[in-house]
Structure 1
Amino acid sequence: MSANAENTLIQALQDPALYDHPVNEFRVIETHISQVILTGDYAYKIKKPMDFGFLDFSTLERRKHFCEEELRLNRRLAPNLYLEVLPITGTPEKPCLGGSGEAFEYAVRMRQFNQDELFDKRQERGDLPPELLTSLARQVAQFHDSLPSIPDDKPLGTPESVYAAMQENFDQIRPLLDDPALLKQLDNLEEWTRTTFERQRDLIASRRANGLVRECHGDLHLANITVFEDQVTVFDCIEFNEPFRWIDVINDLAFLLMDLESRKEPELANLVLNTYLEYRGDCHCCRCTRPTGRWSEARLPCSPWVTRA
């Protein structure tokens, strides 16, 4: 489906007669990789036909596959939020949700939640109490404990793959810069990353050998956490790129800590880390959280900026 056909579809889907539930009002939230149609009680997420290299939704088969992966992965943490994958039949001009004909597109159907409950919104208005972060940290710790370790034959989470993910940032960003000062800053950061990684190489390898590389969330920051049905709920994990989610569990947590610190919330970051460690007892992770974990997890917020540029 072309981008023009997708826009036609999004417009056509804003018709209350197409839905088997009442529609209060339509609102569309667009990101660089998807469009989400809000209807009141339910939301319908449709992936854009894009190929960014690290993400490939370019064919119908791939979009269907990643819709199914999104459902599978997110039901681990948000089973009440993620409901089903729906085929869209008919035509972009006259679509049918869940029809019996041949599908030309797919959507993930979710329960809709109050956008004001997102943790990033709560933090911005000074309404992110410690008890919510404590609950979140315990939930993440329990989630990490429940995950199986990476199979030995899967070549992810090794020191080489961890460094490759970090190096990819520099390779993508450098061609976009022409300011000598910025290029110098990038060179310094690249050198710091290389030397710090070399100091941590053995630790990264040992943590993988000890089973701490698992199929994690991969995008754990405040904008992907909400309160739904009076429960802290983590959603929108990475479905489109295995190396982004098959990571050391502490890298998963590091993204959240980095987000809190960047928002000048160091006390909350420490609360999350301490609560997590109290539950899991993974004290050795503190050796790698600051030097490599948080920088390597910066690749995801960086990637959309690269594609927009």
Structure 2
Amino acid sequence: MAENLPALIQQMQGAGFYPHPVGVIGVKQTHISWVMLTGDFAYKVKKPANFGFLDFSTLAKRQQFCQEELRLNQRLAPELYLDVLPISINAQGEYGFNSAGEIVEYAVKMRQFGEDDLWLTCFEQGKLAVQDLENLGAQIAQFHQQSPTNEYITGFGSLAMIKRVVDSNYEATESYTNEWGLAKEFQAIRGFTDNYLIKHQDWFSERQNLGKIRECHGDLHLGNICFFQGQACVFDCIEFNEEFRLTDGVYDVAFLVMD
């Protein structure tokens, strides 16, 4: 598998790459990033991808979104999100942090936690207590109250903006419905959604007027919460798409309740 990874990621699997002691180095890969697990610290490198809803296609954009990831996640997880580090390459083709040479990539440095501390794992093992959920609820409520809002952010709660996001989801999946034999069900669900939005458009206006559209988390599910130093810690906020993050706080709560 290593030979299929970019040269940078291959070199990051070596202990000598890091300015601190490391354990057994692991690599976690998603469709948008690589995460290097070194023991005490984790390093996330964004893939040079453009999926429409996110664009990491240039070095400047990856730097921008690394900085945004740090800024946004330090709101709820300052103990996890530490820094954005430039990665350079020298004349010998060796990569390194803060070294001489051309900057070719950026990494978000985080503290590493164990898989057993993920709330998804804890939930599956029956280890989440009611008190844990109540504490998290209080934390999220305070977070939403303190999150910024203004005229620009409030605009993302309009019916037109919400419908645009909903429609983009349908447009991205419609081509698969005939293949799966679900065209009838697809149209029924889309019709229900369209009718619901029209029927309850006053609700969305009211939420805007009440100042409930905030800079939220945008991806609040059990896989993005962990126990760290004995406390619930919410991480991996959406940094790459404002439409996902600038929303009603109820969206954050509903996403978690759905889990």
TM-score (norm 2): 0.94
Query: 1:117-156 deviations in whole A, cap 9, x for unaligned?
Result: 1011111122221111111111100100111223258642
| 2:175 match | 175
TM-score (norm 1): 0.79
Does 2:240 align with 1:232?
no
**1-structure distance, mates of 2:123, 2:80:** 22
Between structures 1 and 2, the one with greater strand share? 2
Between structures 1 and 2, the one with greater helix share? 1
**2-structure distance, mates of 1:36, 1:58:** 18
Structure 2 portions without partners, runs of 5+: none
Does 2:137 align with 1:137?
yes
Look up the equivalent residue of 1:156 and give its one-letter code.
F
**2-structure distance, mates of 1:14, 1:107:** 14
Tell me if structure 1 keeps the 8 A contact 2:11–2:17.
no
SS at match of 1:178: helix
**2-structure distance, mates of 1:69, 1:100:** 25
Look up the equivalent residue of 1:120 and give its one-letter code.
L
Query: 1:73-121 deviations in whole A, cap 9, x for unaligned?
Result: 0000000100000000016951111224331000000000111110111
Q: How does 1:29-40 map to 2 (within 5 A)?
A: 29-40=28-39
How far 1:6 moved relative to its partner?
A: 6.1
| 1:105 match | 105
| 2:51 match | 52
Q: How does 1:1-309 map to 2 (within 5 A)?
A: 7-90=6-89, 93-152=93-152, 155-179=155-179, 181-259=181-259
**2-structure distance, mates of 1:234, 1:153:** 22
How far 1:181 moved relative to its partner?
A: 4.0
Tell me if structure 2 keeps the 8 A contact 1:71–1:108.
yes
Tell me if structure 1 keeps the 8 A contact 2:216–2:249.
yes
Tell me if structure 1 keeps the 8 A contact 2:113–2:228.
yes
Query: 1:42-69 deviations in whole A, cap 9, x for unaligned?
Result: 0000000100000100000000000000
| 1:290 match | none
How far 1:249 moved relative to its partner?
A: 0.8
How far 1:21 moved relative to its partner?
A: 1.1
SS at match of 1:104: strand
Look up the equivalent residue of 1:205 and give its one-letter code.
S
The verdict on how the C-alpha distance between 1:107 and 1:180 changes in structure 2, with shifts beyond 3 A counting, is closer
Number of residue pairs the alignment of both structures matches: 256
Look up the equivalent residue of 2:32 and give its one-letter code.
I
The verdict on how the C-alpha distance between 1:6 and 1:214 changes in structure 2, with shifts beyond 3 A counting, is farther
Tell me if structure 1 keeps the 8 A contact 2:89–2:100.
no
Tell me if structure 1 keeps the 8 A contact 2:22–2:39.
yes
The verdict on how the C-alpha distance between 1:154 and 1:203 changes in structure 2, with shifts beyond 3 A counting, is closer
Look up the equivalent residue of 1:183 and give its one-letter code.
A
Tell me if structure 2 keeps the 8 A contact 1:150–1:246.
no
Give percent identity, aligned residues only. 45
Look up the equivalent residue of 1:194 and give its one-letter code.
D
Tell me if structure 2 keeps the 8 A contact 1:73–1:237.
yes
SS at match of 2:151: coil
SS at match of 1:80: coil
Tell me if structure 1 keeps the 8 A contact 2:153–2:214.
no
The verdict on how the C-alpha distance between 1:185 and 1:153 changes in structure 2, with shifts beyond 3 A counting, is closer
How far 1:251 moved relative to its partner?
A: 1.1
